A = this chain, B = another copy of it.
Amino acid sequence: MADPRDTTHRDALVARLGADAVRWDDDTLTKHSHDYWCLGVLRLMRGTLTARPLCVVSPDNTEQVARVLEYANQHRLVVVPYGAGSGVCGGVLPADGTLVVDLRRMNRILDLNETALTVRVQSGMMGNAFEAALNARGYAMGHYPQSIDVSTVGGWIATRAAGQYSTRYGSIEDILLALEAVLPDGRVVRTRIGPRASTGPDLRHLFLGSEGTLGIVTEATLRIFPRPETSVAQSFSFASMDAGLQAIRQFMRAGWKPPVVRLYDPIETARLFPDASRGDNALLLLVSEGPAALTTVETAACAAACTANGGKSVGTAPVERWMLERNQVPGFEPFLERGLVLDTIEVATTWDHISDLFREVIAAIQQVPGLLVASGHSSHSYPQGTNIYFTFVARPEDPAQAEATYLACWAKAMEATLRCHGTISHHHGIGRLRLPWMAAEHGAGLDVLRAIKRTLDPNGIMNPGVLIPA
């Protein structure tokens, strides 16, 4: 590990990238010492997050990223890539002496191809600026995560993100056509831009979800979508979560793909949509987009599936309310200050297991002493299944038990998910938080992942402690 008093590395990086690209002031180091994992925030508030990066470098282009990694690899400096720091699983929690690579200077759209409907962009571009630039030209990304104001293109790729409109437009792996990445030794890999190929294993998928452990993604070519001709909202109230899940399953089975499909359990319906709550009902929000001819028939077909499952139309007001509030990412701090611990947990499974998974995860979390509430909604559906996005809040009797209570809720949820044939993460990734369940998730596949890690990053410089258990 680098000695923080030794200026050798910082001087060498300044020589390579220029003085304005290398910072080690207190404020910069603090801001880059964690992401938005609840426990990172808690430790920062309590003063127990004491690790400090060596410095933060802000490269301007791919060539500079390559020079930084080449240097780090030569000198065995640990590197943590940093997007906008909004990850929620502890994927960014640099140890003392780490070199943090902040990619936000690499924020340019390099090419917008209106014929091929593609855009090439640097990985550090912020989501909201990117979407706004596309909107101004009459296009949209199709990828619209709740974090769009506080996340980068590269962050979506590194975590295998999914956006709120994924049911029609796909998740990031469907939208990403090609990428450029710098390997730990400084070599630059570019995958070919094209609609589809059969030329061996698809190397995009090495970096999608790699969480900074295999290299740094520097550019992405993404699909874009012309702004839709129409957008039609509707919502339905159901007697139960199960009835709503059946309705979704049925219209997805028939091949309909409304971009927004969100089903809230009674607790979340009461909290988020009081005007549509009877106390015990589940609420489904739907948005269809596309040519008017399509949205007209899709809206009717989805409504018919809802009605067939006892759903009652409750108009467009709940969708309008959601549209206004959907990007508000509530901060952990006010809750933590009041002695609460809380988080969201997104998992997924196939339709045959989803009812069991929903019930069993809630029941499992409820066993944790101090638990106040556990609820959930489905927000990303597929013909084969759906996700559930759980929320829990607990108040440990002893504030010193905050971390233990938080981790107990997670452990209960992960174990119940695995028992119910679910995957441990739908779209937030692994980070440090889910590391203990990677072996159960992947079995022997984890050995393959480890072998790939060893061969691409033999010195283990890239974001150690994340994604791949030692």
Contact = CB atoms under 8 A, between A and B. Distances in A.
A160 B387 CA distance: 28
A305 to B, nearest CB: 11
A166 to B, nearest CB: 9
A179 to B, nearest CB: 10
A255 B296 CA distance: 14
A248 to B, nearest CB: 12
Interface in A102-138: 113, 115-118
Interface in A233-261: 249, 253-256
A218 to B, nearest CB: 13
A197 B423 contact: yes
A195 B203 CA distance: 21
Interface stretch (A11-19, A286-294, A312-320): A286-294
A2 interface: no
A426 B188 CA distance: 24
Interface stretch (A53-61, A268-276, A395-403, A444-452): A444-452
B297 A162 contact: no
Contacts of A249: 115
A47 interface: no
A300 interface: yes
A189 B300 CA distance: 43
A48 interface: no
Interface stretch (A71-79, A334-342, A359-367, A377-385): A377-385
Contacts of A226: 253-254
Interface stretch (A35-43, A93-101, A277-285, A344-352): A344-352
A149 interface: no
B196 A444 contact: no
Number of copies: 2
Contacts of A198: 159-162, 209, 425-430
A456 interface: yes
A448 B438 contact: no
Contacts of A383: 117, 195, 223, 225
Contact of A191 (B160, B189, B445, B455): B445
A421 interface: yes
Nearest to A188: B444
**Interface range, A side:** 35 or more
Contact of A117 (B210, B253, B301): B253
Interface string A172-214: 0100010000010001111111111111111111111111001
A141 interface: no
A108 to B, nearest CB: 21
A202 B187 contact: no
Nearest to A226: B253
A151 interface: no
B426 A196 contact: yes
A201 B210 contact: yes
A386 interface: yes
27 contacts: A115-B352, A160-B197, A189-B444, A192-B441, A194-B348, A194-B421, A195-B348, A195-B386, A196-B387, A196-B423, A197-B425, A198-B209, A198-B427, A198-B430, A199-B209, A199-B423, A199-B425, A201-B449, A202-B205, A202-B208, A203-B448, A203-B449, A205-B206, A256-B291, A294-B298, A451-B455, A454-B455
Interface of A: 113, 115-118, 159-162, 171, 173, 177, 183, 187-211, 214, 223, 225-226, 228-229, 249, 253-256, 290-291, 293-294, 296-298, 300-301, 348-352, 380-387, 421-430, 434, 438, 441-445, 447-449, 451-452, 454-456, 467-468
Given A226-B253, A255-B290, A291-B301, 15 more contacts: A189-B443, A189-B445, A190-B444, A194-B348, A196-B426, A199-B430, A200-B430, A202-B208, A203-B449, A254-B290, A254-B291, A293-B297, A294-B297, A448-B456, A455-B455
